[in-house]
Structure 1
Amino acid sequence: LTDAQHRAEATPLLSMPGQIDDLGELLRFWRTYRDKRNQYEELRMRAYAEMPAQWAHVWSGNEDARLTVFRQHDSASVRRGLIGEIPQTMWWMDFPLLERTYYQLVVNFDVFGNVSHQGQTRLYFDLIRNGAEINFLRLLPADARQAMLDDWYEKSGQLKLRLSYTDIDTETPTGLQLHGDKPRQAFAEQLLGPHGLANAIPDPINRCRTSRCYREEQPVALQRVEQALSRLTNRLAAGLQVIGHLPEATMLRVEYGENRREVYSLLRNRAHSNVAFMFGEEHRYQPRLDTLTVYPGVLSSYPNFMFSLRAEEVPAFVVALEGVKDREAFERLVERWGIRRSHPQFWWYFNDLTRYLRETEPVEAGVLDMNRYQNL
């Protein structure tokens, strides 16, 4: 064989599942694609070891360079920019990962495919996610990577780490200067800082570092609203017990001035020991570690509930949320400010969310799905 043929045989052929939908061969397909991907991952790791990560490798790009993904149970929403508090996990996607994500979830995905097709798609995207996590770890100091990975794959996740994924590089140093004992925090602060990369938009409600936890350009009435709402962010459900009663996507409609209103999304961030398996999520769920993200706008296509109140009522609303200790207290709060399906003006309030979208995001606006609206 020629040298070129030898190299071709030694190089794993990356391919994606889903074309063959034999249910009985699902696990065999999974092992085949997993092994090919892991061979590629090992080659990539050796190549990257010759070129430590630098800030110059992080694409500053256009408005799509930084994305925040919110997962709401069986749906998700993606927003441009970096929204919310610094998350536990981050992905750094290179072009091969982006390309495989597109072909796996868009081009080759069959909405009407059988269980084998759906299962192969889900299992293979698990490898894409792991690849993006490994990419991100390259940005951190070598001696901090394994501990960070173990934090993402607790308990049963350790089994998945050993059986399905390749080892990570814990020797090649990073080219980033990340000081202190919290490198992920240090990386995020540099990314979000005044000299950070493009599209790292400020979020004073969730990432308040001063006494002014509101958007400076807003009217005074909304500044007071956002100052009060900022007290709900970054608090664990163990201390803010109302989180345990809230659904995943709650809309807060605040009226102020003359016939004006602002809408905020209260998104419940569900904590898990790991997200490495298709089934058994309830066994990995850690509800006491849940938190809230509060952000202006409608950040979900499937609102689960809505509160509506005047701006001057928001401080009392926040105090009431902080005081919820049981179902009865939450019921009183819903009775006072909640918009249930049985509310006489329910449809006016729900359709007002669509009107708000058309006013604030006319290009992205659409009809919201109320199938998951709960009658708390």
Structure 2
Amino acid sequence: MHIYKYIFVVFFIFFTACSVKPLKPIVVKAVDREIDYQKDIKPILDKRCVSCHSCYNSPCQLKLSSYEGLDRGVTKEEVYLGERLSSQNPTRLFIDAKNTQEWRKRGFASISKSNSAIGTNNSLMLQILEHKMKNPKSLGEYLSEEDLTCAKDLDELAEYLDDNPQKGMPYGFPPLKNSEFELIKQWLYQGAKYTPQKHTSFPNELIEFEKFFNADDAKHKMSARYIYEHLFLAHISFKSRPNEFYELVRSSTPSPEPINIIATVRPYDNPKVDKFYYRFKKIESTIVHKTHMVYDMSFDKLERFKELFIKPKWDEKAYDFGYDSEDNANPFIVFSQIPAKSRYQFLLDDREYVIRTFIRGPVCKGQIALNVIHDHFWVTFMQPEFDLSIKDNKFFKSQYKNLELPIKEGSDMALLETFTDNYNDKAVNYYINRQKLYDKVYKDGLDEQSVTGDILTVYRHFDSASVHNGALGNLPRTSWVIDFPLFERIYYALVAGFDIFGNIGHQVSIRRYMNRLRVEGESYFLNLLPKEDRENIFKSWYIDSEDDEIFYFSKNDSKKIYKKIDSKREFLESIIGKFDELNYVKANQRLSKPPKTYKTKEDYIDGFRSLISKGNRFISHVNDSHSNLAYLRVKNIPNEDDKVVSIVVNRWHDNVSFMFDEEDRLNSDKDEMNFIEGFVGSYPNLFLVVDYKDLPNFIDMLHNFDGSQKYKKRFMKYAIMRSDKDFWKHYDWFQNRFFKDNPHEAGLFDLNRYYYKAYE
């Protein structure tokens, strides 16, 4: 009987496969002029395709932000495969293969090549675009990063489209305009031609910086190595040409020869060449915001580098450490000869950039790294003159082994070893030794004078995050204080040493280690509060967590004198230079209900402020991992330009101690909304468009939203869903406004996580 079932299944699969209609070559009526990629095609791809196809989270690794990415094509090989037991070879565009043939050997299939007869084209790209033109309506759920086709040929694409008739490209959004589609059709028909751009001139500062980085003496060599390991992800902008961006790379060729990038997995890996050169490579790809981490360089910055690294007397005679040491993954040993004060000040000078690399680095989709932090917290930094790792070099050197990181194990670590390695124990030992020293030196404790007071705000948006200058939002649940050793370890664990292509053991080990570092930063903050408050506050951050039993607190009381009503609030308010007037609620303030009438600007502000309290009814009905960041456009404001407000949902976590089952630790009754003027984040989940005169109705809808059809209908009046026929018009408005408001820092938004649900 079983043999008949088997035969039936085989025949069913066979006949089902045979029933799929093959895709026919698309007829193309040739035009007289030659279609130019740079002038005609790239603007279309930038406006309609790059928003989903530009990083490791690009479906099928198809990167359309450059011609080289389009030419490379697609692969079935997944980058975000957290359960893999062995690391995989990286597939970094421009780095891990040098030409199309090499990418084909790596398993990438062309989307632009056509083997059809004259007068037709059967490229994968044209087929899937035309399919959308014929089936423009979007239905159902669209999770671009998860629901992948990755068809390597027309047969596979035909089968996918037969099963998913509504899933052509652009995926889940309205189709291209007919004129845009015709241009791409003609370009593909003409052979998808591209003429590389030639650049013969460079910023004035670039030559001087290359001289600095490539000087032969040991002081310059080690300084350049340190700076490079912290800037290898930077989009470097030179003052003389602020609209161009460069990346700092290691090349086997000197200037002015063409750059030949040395393809190492990590910036501290052995380049394995007799001599290499630091070079500045112009970024030709379209700038996307999620990876656009700007680092400004000028002649003043060059002088700052010299002031920090070259002019001071080093702790020992300068020497070239080399790359063949087993300690390459420990920056405290590699760079021990450079004064710790110089290294820390280098990080502090551009603290927003460095913190940004933690959470917007090359991973693009960082839930593995980001579910180790709360949705909203503030960060400040220890003043160098109070940091004992800088003041007491003997103690600091004695702790180098305790400061080792799990990145020392490389990209492969057996999963079981991650729970038996001693890196977390070393982190605990370091903290205990550090605290003993601090208690001995600062017997009266520390106060607000020991921190810089320059607050950064971190918002987590599920598996992406953003960093902002200043204290944004209401009083956060948690805060961190970061000193030099903590700053450096977080950077090397999450950025320099993290490999997105690493195996599950590598990723879990980093996640577990970062858990310890988070606790450390929070403990530094709590040590500034009254002794009797620390444990209770700490436990309130770690509900039902194993970490609520780990107390790393000072034995000494805080030096600051408190009123002891709400010490956390009191301390933070003592260092806040400017409050967030829209979202911050002081201890003596109460949030009122929305105004009955809206006449003044203050009435509208009060209306928004009424929505930020915990337990907002709207949040509990629509908040999930796909809907915690919206951009609101308020248009037709009398005598003013349209306003943009980012609506940020901060989800409450009982704790963030565990890597898995995050949903079990959420409590939507305690979620909060923040309303930030301007743009927050890189991955909008929803666009909202409200006429100024409708703001009272909009605020009332959010305030009283109960999930009923009545309120869903009111919500849909303002929400721009993926399937909206005018979606691209709204997207273009928000994108253009972003570039207008902040042209230097702006880039294209990512739409992979745009909200897919609609209330009918």
Task: Report the equivalent of 2:451.
Answer: 58
1:208 is displaced (CA, Å) by 4.8
The answer to whether residue 482 in structure 2 is matched with residue 89 in structure 1 is: no
Aligned 8 A contact 1:93 1:135 in 2: yes
The answer to whether residue 628 in structure 2 is matched with residue 252 in structure 1 is: no
2:459 maps to which of 63, 70, 82: 70
The answer to whether residue 659 in structure 2 is matched with residue 272 in structure 1 is: no
Aligned 8 A contact 1:204 1:212 in 2: no
Aligned 8 A contact 2:417 2:505 in 1: no
1:161 is displaced (CA, Å) by 3.8
Task: Report the equivalent of 2:556.
Answer: 172
Aligned 8 A contact 1:30 1:120 in 2: no
The answer to whether residue 609 in structure 2 is matched with residue 230 in structure 1 is: yes
C-alpha distance in 1, partners of 2:729/2:399?
64
Secondary structure class of the residue paired with 1:48: helix
Aligned 8 A contact 2:481 2:524 in 1: yes
C-alpha distance in 2, partners of 1:24/1:330?
51
1:182 maps to which of 548, 566, 570: 566
2:578 maps to which of 201, 214, 224: 201
Alignment of 1:1-376 (within 5 A): 12-20=401-409, 21-24=411-414, 26-28=416-418, 31-50=421-440, 51=442, 52-60=445-453, 65-155=454-544, 157=545, 159-162=546-549, 165=550, 167-169=551-553, 171-192=555-576, 200-208=577-585, 224-233=603-612, 235-237=613-615, 240-244=616-620, 245-246=622-623, 247-255=627-635, 256-257=637-638, 260-375=641-756, 376=758
Q: 1:272 to 1:106 in 2, by over 3 A?
A: same
Counterpart AA for 1:321: L
Secondary structure class of the residue paired with 1:78: strand
1:258 is displaced (CA, Å) by 6.2
> What TM-score comes out, normalization by structure 2 length?
0.43
C-alpha distance in 2, partners of 1:144/1:10?
30
Aligned 8 A contact 2:654 2:665 in 1: yes
Aligned-residue sequence identity (percent) comes to 29
1:230 is displaced (CA, Å) by 1.6
Secondary structure class of the residue paired with 2:532: helix
Aligned 8 A contact 2:456 2:471 in 1: yes
Q: Residue deviations 1:263-312, cap 9 Å, x none?
A: 11111111111111101111111111111111111112110112101122
Aligned 8 A contact 2:446 2:528 in 1: yes
Q: Residue deviations 1:308-357, cap 9 Å, x none?
A: 01122112211111121124244212221111122222111112221111
Aligned 8 A contact 2:439 2:554 in 1: no
C-alpha distance in 1, partners of 2:563/2:420?
40
Structure 1: 5+ residue runs without aligned partners? 193-199, 214-219
C-alpha distance in 2, partners of 1:352/1:253?
9
C-alpha distance in 1, partners of 2:634/2:600?
10
C-alpha distance in 2, partners of 1:349/1:258?
22
Secondary structure class of the residue paired with 1:90: strand
Counterpart AA for 1:118: Q
Secondary structure class of the residue paired with 1:242: helix
Counterpart AA for 2:571: F
1:169 is displaced (CA, Å) by 2.5
Deviates more, 1:259-268 or 1:22-31: 22-31
Aligned 8 A contact 2:591 2:610 in 1: no
1:250 is displaced (CA, Å) by 1.3
Larger Rg: 2
Aligned 8 A contact 1:70 1:76 in 2: yes
Q: 1:269 to 1:183 in 2, by over 3 A?
A: same
Aligned 8 A contact 2:618 2:706 in 1: yes
Aligned length: 346
Counterpart AA for 1:121: I
C-alpha distance in 2, partners of 1:143/1:254?
47
Q: 1:182 to 1:212 in 2, by over 3 A?
A: closer
Secondary structure class of the residue paired with 1:206: coil
Q: 1:10 to 1:264 in 2, by over 3 A?
A: closer
1:119 is displaced (CA, Å) by 1.3
C-alpha distance in 1, partners of 2:750/2:607?
29
> What TM-score comes out, normalization by structure 1 length?
0.85
Q: Residue deviations 1:81-130, cap 9 Å, x none?
A: 11000011101111111111111112111122221221121111111111
Q: 1:23 to 1:10 in 2, by over 3 A?
A: closer
1:212 is displaced (CA, Å) by 12
1:228 is displaced (CA, Å) by 2.1
Q: 1:10 to 1:269 in 2, by over 3 A?
A: closer
Q: 1:323 to 1:28 in 2, by over 3 A?
A: closer
Deviates more, 1:255-264 or 1:120-129: 255-264
1:168 is displaced (CA, Å) by 2.5
Counterpart AA for 2:611: L
C-alpha distance in 2, partners of 1:160/1:207?
29
Aligned 8 A contact 1:54 1:175 in 2: yes
Q: 1:337 to 1:139 in 2, by over 3 A?
A: same
Structure 2: 5+ residue runs without aligned partners? 1-393, 593-598
What RMSD, in angstroms, separates the aligned Cα atoms of the two structures? 2.5
C-alpha distance in 1, partners of 2:555/2:398?
28
Deviates more, 1:182-191 or 1:300-309: 182-191
Counterpart AA for 2:738: L
Task: Report the equivalent of 2:274.
Answer: none
Aligned 8 A contact 1:221 1:311 in 2: no
C-alpha distance in 2, partners of 1:73/1:286?
15
Deviates more, 1:13-22 or 1:222-231: 222-231
Tell me: higher relative CO, structure 1 or 2? Use CA pairs within 8 A at least 6 residues apart. 1
C-alpha distance in 2, partners of 1:328/1:154?
36
Aligned 8 A contact 1:242 1:330 in 2: no
1:26 is displaced (CA, Å) by 4.7
Q: 1:231 to 1:48 in 2, by over 3 A?
A: same
